[in-house]
Chain A
Amino acid sequence: MDLNLVLQSLISGISIGCVYGLIGIGFCVIYNASGIVNFAQGAFVMIGGMATYVLMTDYNLPYAVAAICAILLAGLVGAVVERLVVRPLWDRNAAMFVMILATLAAQIVIERLAYILVDDQPKTLPPFTDIAPIRLGGIAVNYQSLWIVGCSVLIILALNSFFRSTRTGKAMRAVSINAEAAALQGIPVSRMLTLAFVLSAMLGAVAGILLTPTQYTAFNMGVPFAISGFIAAIIGGFGKPLGAFIGGIALGVIQSMAILGLGAGFKNVAALSLLLLFLFFRPSGLLGSTR
């Protein structure tokens, strides 16, 4: 097989993998704060791309301002989901799959609202920097891929210092280790849960904005990306942000290799088979301890 083609696929795999990783980290942030797996994660990814598009075209905002507003909007929606859907169930000690269903229902509601408020047409955003791709021998690296990888790495570093150095970040980690003990130390556990949803929604929105120029966004694009993000989180060992990022890249690369070797139709089969392999043989993931 043509080596250039393989390298080209590898690059696109890594860049989409970073996006999966960011979505996967969003799952981890909420899971660590509450033990909840938020199946509405895809909605935030959709809001990121859609809101940026709407703010740019209908309100003529500059790209960067629109993107920041979209991220803030997603954060707000995250807080609303937490307050209106998750909190009442949390207070009633709802079972795990009730929570899954409720967040899935929240996903459908947000999706439909986007459909009603905007429309059902796929939309795309311009690349962040519109310059011809860099040529390295026979392969072309477009700038959007570099933006995706660069922004993702920056976000990971920022998150890392947030969780290690700030009071709030440390409080969130304390809650994830033991919520009751954290509450005894005077940490407002319930506020941390809201904050986790806001943070995770903003991460999802960033992922959505980064990926929209390379693909497209539409009201119903959230679920497939949420599934990929979830797979990334499982591969990495659920609840481990760095693991989710590595898992995302692994998933992106394997998917693009499957497309290259087997055809585009096998993209999802490859991803889901990878998920099952990990669930059956190494459910604790790459970074998890073997139990």
Chain B
Amino acid sequence: MTNSPSITSPEAHGLARPRTRHFGSAAVWVLSAAIIGYALVFGGYMATIVAFALIYAVFVSGLNVFMGLTAQVSFGQSAFAAIGGYTSAVLTTTYEWAPLPGMVAGLVFALVAAFLIGFPTLRLKGHYLAMATLAIGLITYEIAVEWESVTQGYLGISGIPPLGIGPFEAVSDRAILAVLSVIVVILAFAVTRIRRSRLGRAFSAVAGSEEAASALGINVSRYKLVSFLIAAAIASLSGSLFVHVVGYVSPEVFGLHMVILAFTMVYIGGLGTVAGPLIGALIISILPEVFRGMKDYQDLAYGVTMILILIYAPKGIAGVADALDARRSA
């Protein structure tokens, strides 16, 4: 892949990786595994924090496909997390479905919504695309607040059953962590496969230049839609996971805060890298616990960190690790 002539500028999108793993990116995986391992062994409060981080890692992986691989921007992925989360919540409480079919139904709804929304939205570019997707996220939030007969408004829905298939239920912290870790690993594997597939190369071409991609015979709008659908499906999955792990859902979960947090994670981790979403989500979730004494300063620190990273390390942690491997100056 590194040797093939490419119309895109792979460095800019963090796409051209040597097939063999090197020290830097391996270190990122080892660090992530160590954090999860620590939480698995010692459990308790740390396990809860890491579980949230893993759910976010799922959400951010979806964002990463759309933003990192395809270089599009969506501030509205929270809409699909909300659709997945609320579908799971309503079906498993009011209609007493099992978690898995509920999750699948959420996925279907999210995909249908993403298809209907994506069709007109993805024609937009730049700021217009950013704003339209932001509007979609905010409208979904408002619907969650106003459609009280289904969502119970600000009160939210409680009593959602834990994750489980048949007789197995993930109730304990450790069981939840194990299930989430497996899902994150499967997703990371899937993203790796996508990146190296024909689909991933098409995404990369669209990311590099839409004009050049279409000149090469790539159906740009179709691949953008496919990327958007994948991202929406993953977001929906993360929403469903959240409601089952927490047992409760309210509109606040899927507000603008979620979007900003996810963006910070994807950038800290490294946009377009496979390990980025995981390490980004872990760091951003654990850091506030380190600085717990200074609660008022947390968001301030987020903002400042975000600005510094965007200016001085726009490729994030996984990006820097990869750059070290390639003996490029970061």
Residues of A bordering B, CB below 8 Å: 37, 84-85, 88-89, 92, 94, 96-98, 100-102, 104-109, 111-113, 115-116, 223, 227, 230, 234, 238, 265-266, 268-269, 272-273, 275-276, 279-280, 283
Contacts and interface: CB of A to CB of B under 8 A. Distances in A.
Contacts of A275: 131-132, 135
B155 interface: no
Contacts of B256: 223
A279 B260 contact: no
A102 B146 contact: no
Interface residues of B, number: 36
B290 to A, nearest CB: 18
Contacts of A230: 131
A96 B127 contact: yes
B145 A105 contact: no
Contacts of B310: 89, 94, 98, 101-102, 105
A109 to B, nearest CB: 4
B189 interface: no
B182 interface: no
A101 B306 contact: yes
A42 to B, nearest CB: 12
B5 interface: no
B307 A85 contact: yes
B314 A94 contact: yes
Contacts of B139: 268-269, 272-273, 276
B38 interface: no
B221 to A, nearest CB: 15
Interface stretch (B194-202, B209-217, B297-305): B297-305
A105 B307 contact: yes
B13 to A, nearest CB: 10
15 contacts: A37-B130, A92-B314, A97-B73, A101-B306, A102-B306, A105-B304, A106-B303, A108-B302, A108-B306, A109-B300, A234-B128, A269-B139, A269-B143, A275-B131, A280-B120
Main secondary structure of the interface of A (DSSP, over half): helix
A268 B138 CA distance: 8
Q: Which 9 A-B pairs have the closest CB atoms?
A: A109-B303, A108-B303, A105-B306, A112-B300, A97-B73, A272-B135, A105-B303, A280-B120, A279-B132
Nearest to A238: B127
Interface in B106-164: 120-121, 124, 126-128, 130-132, 134-136, 138-139, 142-143, 145-146
A147 to B, nearest CB: 30
Nearest to B306: A105
B145 A265 contact: yes
B311 to A, nearest CB: 5
Main secondary structure of the interface of B (DSSP, over half): helix
Interface of B: 67, 73, 120-121, 124, 126-128, 130-132, 134-136, 138-139, 142-143, 145-146, 256, 260, 263, 267, 296-297, 299-300, 302-304, 306-307, 310-311, 314
A113 B300 contact: yes
Contacts of A89: 310-311
Contact of B142 (A107, A111, A223, A269): A269
B124 A108 contact: no
B23 to A, nearest CB: 27
Nearest to B304: A109
Contacts of B131: 230, 234, 275, 279
A277 to B, nearest CB: 10
- Which of A101, A102, A223 gathers the greatest number of chain B CB atoms within 10 Å? A101
B263 A101 contact: yes
Nearest to A97: B73
A268 B124 contact: no
Contacts of A37: 127, 130
Contacts of B124: 279, 283
A273 B136 CA distance: 9
A24 to B, nearest CB: 13
A115 B300 CA distance: 10
Contact of A97 (B121, B130, B143, B307): B130
